[in-house]
């Protein structure tokens, strides 16, 4: 498969593991230069294993992180693709969720995607680039057993951000799309006990969780 990405500069957030790491590998395999961003220092050895990849350890909740990403991509020649993948989940129902839990999930899952896209918009317009937001099936409905209000709302927000940015991008030559995975076997679902895992898999036609590489290939 040749996606003609040899001259493209790509930034992937949440790239130390899971879907983000799988996406970084796919872009590298297609010849793109990839900037892998994560607050986990583990992103450094992961990027060293991927041809054409570099890394940046920073916290997307901080404004300085956005500046650092923009500066690094400018040195690379400008951003061609943003993959807004970083995400966290704090399990809590609407009665249990604290303001701190809510704010943290929104900052990482939604605010960071908005701020990074805004920060790099001019670079994208210059290169007629694109944005891929990693949403979730929770962007269309609640999570399967409830009890995850902040995550569900954040992913509805990602869906809305994608639609709004796509309208703005049409004027500036920027394409904006989202991928909405079902339940993927990543660190976010490692807390599922065997009973929960069995119930969820029983609702999935394939009878199993998706794999990160399958989302990356999409």
Tens-digit pLDDT profile for residues 21-57: 999 999 999 999 999 999 999 999 999 999 999 999 9
When pLDDT is cut at 50, 70 and 90, the band that residue 143 belongs to is low
Determine, yes or no, domain membership for 93: yes
Determine phi and psi for 54, rounding to 5 degrees: -130, 170
Give CA 81 to chain center in angstroms: 12
pLDDT of residue 69 exceeding 70, the answer is yes
Determine, yes or no, domain membership for 165: yes
The radius of gyration computed from the CA coordinates of the chain, to the nearest angstrom, equals: 17
CATH of the domain at 102: 3.40.50.720
Over residues 174-182, mean pLDDT = 92
Determine, yes or no, domain membership for 4: no
* Residue 13 near residue 68 (C-beta atoms within 8 A): no
Residue 191's pLDDT is 63
Residue 201's pLDDT is 76
Domain that includes residue 35, residue range: 9-217
Residue 192's pLDDT is 67
Query: Which of the pair, 41 or 209, is modelled with greater confidence?
Result: 41
Q: Classify residue 2 by burial, with Cβ atoms within 10 Å: 0-12, 13-18, 19+.
A: exposed
Query: Which of the pair, 172 or 89, is modelled with greater confidence?
Result: 172
Determine, yes or no, domain membership for 195: yes
Determine, yes or no, domain membership for 206: yes
| Percent of residues, the chain, with pLDDT higher than 90 | 72
Over residues 11-18, mean pLDDT = 97
The set of catalytic residues is: 151
Determine, yes or no, domain membership for 170: yes
pLDDT of residue 195 exceeding 80, the answer is no
Determine, yes or no, domain membership for 2: no
What is the number of structural domains in the chain? 1
Determine, yes or no, domain membership for 3: no
Query: Which of the pair, 187 or 37, is modelled with greater confidence?
Result: 37
């Amino acid at each position: 498969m040749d996606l003609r990405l040899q001259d493209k500069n790509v930034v992937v957030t949440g790239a130390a593991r899971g879907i983000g790491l799988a996406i970084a590998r796919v872009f590298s395999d297609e010849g793109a230069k990839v900037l892998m961003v994560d607050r986990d220092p583990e992103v450094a050895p992961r990027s060293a294993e991927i041809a054409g990849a570099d890394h940046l350890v920073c916290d997307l909740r901080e404004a300085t992180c956005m500046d650092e990403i923009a500066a690094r991509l400018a040195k690379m020649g400008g951003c061609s693709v943003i993959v807004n993948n970083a995400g966290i989940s704090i399990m809590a129902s609407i009665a249990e969720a604290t303001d701190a839990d809510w704010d943290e999930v929104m900052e990482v899952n939604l605010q960071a995607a908005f701020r990074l896209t805004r920060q790099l918009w001019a670079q994208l317009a210059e290169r007629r680039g694109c944005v891929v937001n990693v949403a979730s099936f929770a962007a269309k409905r609640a999570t399967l057993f409830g009890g995850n209000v902040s995550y569900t709302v954040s992913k509805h927000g990602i869906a809305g951000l994608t639609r709004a940015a796509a309208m703005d991008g049409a004027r500036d030559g920027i394409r904006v799309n989202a991928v909405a995975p079902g339940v993927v076997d990543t660190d976010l679902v490692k807390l599922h006990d065997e009973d929960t895992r069995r119930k969820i898999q029983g609702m999935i036609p394939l009878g199993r969780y998706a794999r990160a590489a399958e989302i990356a290939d999409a």
